[in-house]
Chain A
């Protein structure tokens, strides 16, 4: 009899929570969709009262669907978003803050860049996985050119790049480095080069632009010289949405800087030996810097009442260390937990290793209006590359423009 009572007492709260249905939204990416489907199966088995509906949309339409659905009360309770979108979403009322103990957990367990999930001091989401940048290089082309390994400094990088560039008439047939201002290179300038050259792109509170200083100017000049002076690459060399990556896969580009998220595509496509290395440095032993980013899961204002409880439980499940381990295996994205990335098996891994090592010092740009701020830096680079503007003038324009965006947001 007592046993039955205990059983009843255990089952009763679950029975109360019965028939709660929550909705999870993410954009369509096959391995992620499959992973979430499997995770939902596991979660539902552990939480009999909760049903999770999983809906996906093409990447291009994702924000549009969110923008329209949530005000109509039809959207997700838990939503997946790029961390840089969080501030605009928060301002427009699409995300609600997580309970305080979640912020403590984040501070304690996750890599430093995850702090970017906070807006105005409050936490709005948690990542399962994080990403960083590294140098991808074509080992076959390197061997042919007589290089033993990837460049350690930018000086080596330029020398190698020049040797790996082939120009016939006015047209390039092979380039040393896949220049891509609108790929990952705007991050490279803003977060990597500025810091390596001893500067800071933004003030600590993220409210002031600082890259217009000496280090920033040196960074922009240095980067644009790769095209203008050293000719180790040319913008738009290979056509397509991610031409720099496609050109690398096609064997026409010897080196690119890309995120860990590109690993799957490159693994599938490249028909040659390739390697990954930590980003080159200004000089041996110089300062290391990297751009970190992540997709996080946030709670929308639609998750109210019993749905909020269920949504938080689901959120905890899909960000747990166990899930992070599964995610790495299934999707190939690096775990967000400090604990897990300390695993030497991971940091010594030939492909994940360079990314994992960079996570220790990678910083996520404190975007407030990612789309607009991204454009500021892409345009700053393009004014120099395509219009021949002086880097100092272009950078000054960019800093003024971006400061306006920051002021607009924080006013």
Chain B
């Protein structure tokens, strides 16, 4: 039997696609299911000595104060971080689009933190935020504000960490919005202007609705990022990770501590399953609520 050219091309395409797919299945999907399986066992290095404990670990989830704290913190990070980075990103993107000169220069400036290693960022900020030597408190002193403990205070640490993450994500957010703004056809604005619309109304009725896809993407990707927050938290308080007093502990960090500092890999897998479910749920809800078909 001879295959048509189209068929042969399709087969080649599938052959090439099969490689990344196999990779994806083996290294991504399979481990996810292994975690599910692992969460039902008491961990042991020797697989034959792993006791089946059923839902015992899931019961432990319900009465684990550290887990509750990590969940609560993660929620706070997301609620503080996402609106901040989206609002700031949008304002900066609009300003950049509006400015007649230096656009590339500023874009590079805003993007630089995003490509800086998170560890280096954490280091520099932990110096800038130091109560006794830091630049930030130096500036506050000029304004007559007493020195703030920032990362050392159980109350201020979480918002402070969020700020560092927002600062770092901002560049990416700006680039996303700039691309979104560029993709809005000029004609809409021209037509609206002919109809007498100006300023705020142009933004409200053209820019904002047409940015919806970028917005949805930003919220979903940003939320997943905050739900998996780890590196900055670890490095901003390296010798008391998640501290002070668990005030910056995140789910991802808690999983890491359980698995690799306390060797409780079974329970760590259970928390991972919870995080997985959470990300899935939040993402689906966001996609459902935020996505709008825009008709002009």
Contacts and interface: CB of A to CB of B under 8 A. Distances in A.
B272 to A, nearest CB: 14
A63 interface: yes
A371 B241 CA distance: 11
A186 to B, nearest CB: 10
Interface band, chain B: 35 or more
Nearest to B157: A386
Contacts of B240: 181-182, 375, 378, 382
Contacts of B208: none
A67 B240 CA distance: 22
Interface stretch (B72-80, B83-91, B124-132, B159-167): B124-132
Given A64-B256, A382-B240, 11 more contacts: A63-B261, A64-B260, A67-B259, A92-B44, A171-B132, A173-B132, A238-B133, A239-B126, A371-B262, A386-B244, A386-B245
Interface stretch (B96-104, B144-152, B184-192, B280-288): B144-152
Interface in A168-197: 169-173, 180-183
B152 A386 contact: yes
A387 B147 contact: no
A296 B59 CA distance: 36
Contact of A93 (B45, B129, B137): B45
B100 to A, nearest CB: 41
Contacts of B44: 92-93
Interface of A: 63-64, 67, 70-71, 88-89, 91-94, 169-173, 180-183, 234-242, 301, 369, 371-372, 375, 378-379, 382-383, 386-387
B116 to A, nearest CB: 18
A180 B239 CA distance: 10
A347 to B, nearest CB: 31
B141 interface: yes
Interface of B: 43-47, 49, 123, 126-127, 129-134, 137, 141, 146-147, 149, 151-154, 238-240, 243-246, 256-257, 259-265
A92 B245 contact: no
Contacts of A169: 141, 147
A64 B258 CA distance: 11
A71 B47 contact: yes
A45 B43 CA distance: 40
Given A371-B261, A387-B154, A171 B147 contact: yes
B132 A382 contact: no
A240 B130 CA distance: 9
A239 B133 contact: yes
A387 B152 CA distance: 11
Contacts of A173: 132
A236 B130 contact: yes
Contacts of B46: 71, 93, 301
A94 B45 contact: yes
A171 B45 CA distance: 50
18 contacts: A63-B260, A63-B263, A67-B259, A70-B45, A71-B46, A91-B263, A92-B43, A92-B263, A93-B45, A94-B45, A171-B147, A235-B152, A237-B132, A301-B45, A375-B240, A379-B243, A386-B154, A386-B245
Contacts of B134: 239
Nearest 5 interchain pairs by C-beta:
A93-B45, A371-B261, A182-B240, A236-B152, A92-B263
A49 B230 CA distance: 46
Nearest to A371: B261
- Chain A CB within 10 Å, residue with most, of B137, B256, B260, B265: B260
A170 B147 contact: yes
Contacts of A369: 262
Contacts of B263: 63, 67, 88-89, 91-92, 94
- Max count, chain B CB within 10 A of own CB: residue among A93, A239, A379: A239
Contacts of A92: 43-45, 263-265
A89 B46 CA distance: 12
B19 to A, nearest CB: 24
Contact of B262 (A234, A242, A301, A372): A372
Contact of B49 (A93, A241, A387): A93
A125 B239 CA distance: 26
